Structure 1
Amino acid sequence: MTISNSRCIQTIALLPLLMLLTDSIGARGMCFDEFVISGDNLYPSNQPDGKRIVLVPGKTETWKQCQSACVNGTTRCHSWTLFFENATQGLANNCYLRTDDYWNPQFVHGQKHLTVASGVNCKSPPATALPNAPPPNVQFSWDHVPVFIHTSNTTGPFNDQALQIMAKFPIVTIEKYQGPNSGYHYPAEKWVCCEEDRIVDTLKSVKKINPNITGIFYYNMVLDYPQYRLHENFAKNESWWLHDQFGNVVKVGINAGAHNTKDLLVYDTTQEAVSELFMHACLDLVPSGAVDGCFVDRPVDGLPHQNMTTDMSVNLMASHVTTLQAFQEQLKRGPLIANHGYGMPGVNAAMIEVFRPTEEDIMLLQWTADRGKLVEAHMVGGDCTTDEGIQDHLAAFLIGAGNYSYFGCGPWFTSTSIDSQWKASYDKPLGAPLGRPSKTKSVYTRKFASGTTVHFDCSTNKGTIDWAKSPEMKQYADDLIY
C-alpha cells in the first residue's frame, strides 16, 4: 500500500454535527492505522480533524475482511463513528478500543446508535507514538502467572481464611458491595454509608498479612452510588448534578442481575469542582496506607444519552479523559485502572472486563500492553472454579500478555467462600516469555523461560499449557534417572 503526503492519524476528533460520507471518498491509498470497532467488526478511518466522521449504516465487514483491506489497500471499511471536533491537546493521540460482544453505544442520535472507539491494528505504531503515563508502582513477576483479584463480600468483613487467599494476589481491588446493606439485593434508599471505610478496612486487613500487595479502591465515574461518602458530599449541591438539554436532572438506573439501582445521580465532570470532588474521593484515601491506586468504572462507556445533545455528550466524554489525566498526575505512579480505557493517554492502567479466549482479545491485550499500560484481563465465560475451566482463557492471556499484564476471574461480589479464586495453575513455574508469540496457520505458540509452552488455536478458541516441572519435581525426576 502506498501512502503519499500522508501521516498516520491517531487522534480522535468528535463532530457535533453528523454528516454522511459515502464511497466518494474513494479507495485511494490511505493509512489504516486507526480503526473503530463495534462488536467483532473492525473499521478503519482516516480523515483530517474537523472532517473525521463516517456514518455508513448497513455495512458488515468482519474483523478479518478489514484486516485484509488494511494490508492490501484495495478496499475501504466503513462504520458508524462519532468523533470529537477540534480535539484538545488533552485528547490528542487518544484511542478507545472495545472488542467484546457487550458493546453499549455511548451516544444515540435519533434512532441511530453511534459508537466511539479507536485502536491500531496492522501497521501499528510503536508504543512511544502514544503519550505514556508513568509506569505503575506495583509488584510484577513472570516467575508465575501474574494475577489479580477484584471482589467484595456482601455479608460483612472477609474471614481470616479469605484474607489469606487475597493476600496471595499482588493486586487486590475491593468492589462497591463490601459489607451488608452496601447495595447488593437492597433498594438504593436502604444502602448504608460509607463504602470508603469498608474498602479501606478490608485492604488494611489484607496488608497486615502481605504489606506488599497493591490495594485498589473501586468507584464509578458515572453512577453516584449512595453507599459512598462521595454521594453525601455530591448530593449537597444540585448544580453539580448532570442536567439534560431541558434542564432536568439526569438519573440513571440499572436493573440487571443482582444490581437493583434506580434514579442514581450522575457526576457532571465538565465542572472543575465536580472533577476535583471525584478525584479526591480516592486520592484522599491514599494517606491511609491501604489504598495505592484507584479503579474507575465507566470512564469511556455507559454514559447517559437520554435528552442529551451531541455537544453535551461529547463534552462529558472529554471531561472524563481530562479528569483522569489530572487524576493520574496527582496519583503519580499509583495505578489508575480505567475500565475499557485501553488507549487513553496519560493514564497508566486499564481493565479488559470481558476477556474471552479469542484472537481479537489476544490482540487487544497485546495492543494495550504494548502501550506500557498495566492491563487487567478479567475472564468471562468458562468455569472460574477449576483449573480446567480457565485453561482456554489463561492460554489466550499468556499468548498476549506483556509486562504489567494480570489475569483474573471470579465474581465482583460474593457471599460465600473465595477458596476457588486461587488456582493450582498460579503456583506453577512460568518464567519470562522468550519473545513474542509465533503463529502457524491458526495456532499461536509462545515459550517461557521455565520451559512452559503455551498453544492457542484461533480456529477453535482452545488453548493448551504444557507446564514446566517445578524445580522440586525436576530434581525428583533427575534423581530417578540417575
Structure 2
Amino acid sequence: MTWLQSQFNDYNKGVMFLNFGSPVPGVYGMSLEGFKPTESALLTLVEQVQFRQGNASRLALKVHGGYQFGCEGSSFQSVLAAFLIGASQYCWFTCSQGYYITDNIGWYPEYNYSLGPPIGDAVKVSDTYIREFASGTVAVFNASTGNGTVFWVDFYPTPNHFPLWLQNLLVKQHSIGINIFHVLQQTKQKSHLNAL
C-alpha cells in the first residue's frame, strides 16, 4: 500500500482511501460508509479521529450517512448531529440514500450555516452528547434515542434563544460531563471484559 500511495503522490493523483476496515500503512484516507445516528457509529468515528491525533495528515475521514434512515428531516438532522459530535479536522460528511455517491446528491441548506471549529471535544451528560462550536452553534445527540439536533447560530443567535433543556445541559456539561474520548475508553474496556 505504501508503494501504491507513493505512485499517487509522484503523479499528484491524490490520496488512497480505504473503504472499510482498520487503517493500514500507506493509506491516508478512510470512508465510514453507512454512518448512522447510533452511539456505536459515533464511537467508531471518534476511534478513527483518535487514531490520527497528533498527526492530522495521517488519515482523512469521509463519513457517508443516510443509508438506513434517509437524508431528509429528522433523519438528516440526527446523522449530521452525530457526525458533528465526533468529527475533527480533515473529516467531511455527505448524505445519500444509497450506497453510491452520485452527481445528484443534494446540497443541504445546513452546509451553508455558520459552524466554525469546535471549542473542544464533545461531552456526554447522562445519555446526551453535546459539542459547542466557535460560531455559537451547538450539536446535541441522544445516544438512547438516536435523535440529534444542531442548534445553528443562524437561528439561535445567543444561548438565551436555546430551549431551556439545552441551556441546562450547557451548564451541566462542565460539572458532570464525561469527555467523549473517555466514553470510548470505557466502552472498549467494557467490551474487553465481556469478551473474557
Give the TM-score, by structure 1 length.
0.28
Deviation at 1:369, TM superposition (A): 2.2
Residue from 134, 138, 143 that aligns with 1:449: 134
Deviations 1:243-279 (A, max 9, x none): xxxxxxxxxxxxxxxxxxxxxxxxxxxxxxxxxxxxx
Residue from 8, 14, 20 that aligns with 1:340: 20
1:466 matched to 2:151? The reply is yes
Separation in structure 1 between the aligned mates of residue 121 and residue 136 of structure 2, nearest angstrom? 15
What is the aligned partner in structure 1 of residue 167 from structure 2? Answer: none
1:201-350 equivalent positions in 2, closer than 5 A: 324-332=1-9, 334-350=14-30
- SS of 2:93's equivalent in the other structure is strand
What is the aligned partner in structure 1 of residue 92 from structure 2? Answer: 406
| Paired residues of 1:341 and 1:351 also in contact (CA < 8 A) | no
Separation in structure 2 between the aligned mates of residue 466 and residue 442 of structure 1, nearest angstrom? 18
- SS of 2:33's equivalent in the other structure is strand
What is the aligned partner in structure 1 of residue 40 from structure 2? Answer: 360
Report the residue type matching 1:382 in the other structure: F
- SS of 1:421's equivalent in the other structure is coil
1:342–1:427 Cα change, 3 Å? farther
Deviation at 1:428, TM superposition (A): 0.5
| Paired residues of 1:391 and 1:463 also in contact (CA < 8 A) | yes
Bigger radius of gyration, 1 or 2?
A: 1
- SS of 1:469's equivalent in the other structure is coil
Deviations 1:85-123 (A, max 9, x none): xxxxxxxxxxxxxxxxxxxxxxxxxxxxxxxxxxxxxxx
What is the aligned partner in structure 1 of residue 70 from structure 2? Answer: 383
Deviation at 1:325, TM superposition (A): 2.1
Report the residue type matching 2:129 in the other structure: Y
Identity %: 34
1:378–1:359 Cα change, 3 Å? same
1:157-176 equivalent positions in 2, closer than 5 A: none
Separation in structure 2 between the aligned mates of residue 406 and residue 349 of structure 1, nearest angstrom? 11
1:390–1:329 Cα change, 3 Å? same
Separation in structure 2 between the aligned mates of residue 413 and residue 426 of structure 1, nearest angstrom? 17
1:413–1:403 Cα change, 3 Å? closer
What is the aligned partner in structure 2 of residue 440 from structure 1? Answer: 125
Separation in structure 1 between the aligned mates of residue 6 and residue 145 of structure 2, nearest angstrom? 43
Separation in structure 1 between the aligned mates of residue 101 and residue 127 of structure 2, nearest angstrom? 37
Deviations 1:267-301 (A, max 9, x none): xxxxxxxxxxxxxxxxxxxxxxxxxxxxxxxxxxx
More helix by share: 2
1:342–1:376 Cα change, 3 Å? farther
Deviation at 1:413, TM superposition (A): 6.2
- SS of 2:61's equivalent in the other structure is strand
| Paired residues of 2:19 and 2:31 also in contact (CA < 8 A) | yes
| Paired residues of 1:369 and 1:404 also in contact (CA < 8 A) | no
Residue from 419, 431, 445 that aligns with 2:116: 431
| Paired residues of 2:4 and 2:26 also in contact (CA < 8 A) | no
Superposition CA RMSD, Å: 2.2
| Paired residues of 1:387 and 1:424 also in contact (CA < 8 A) | no
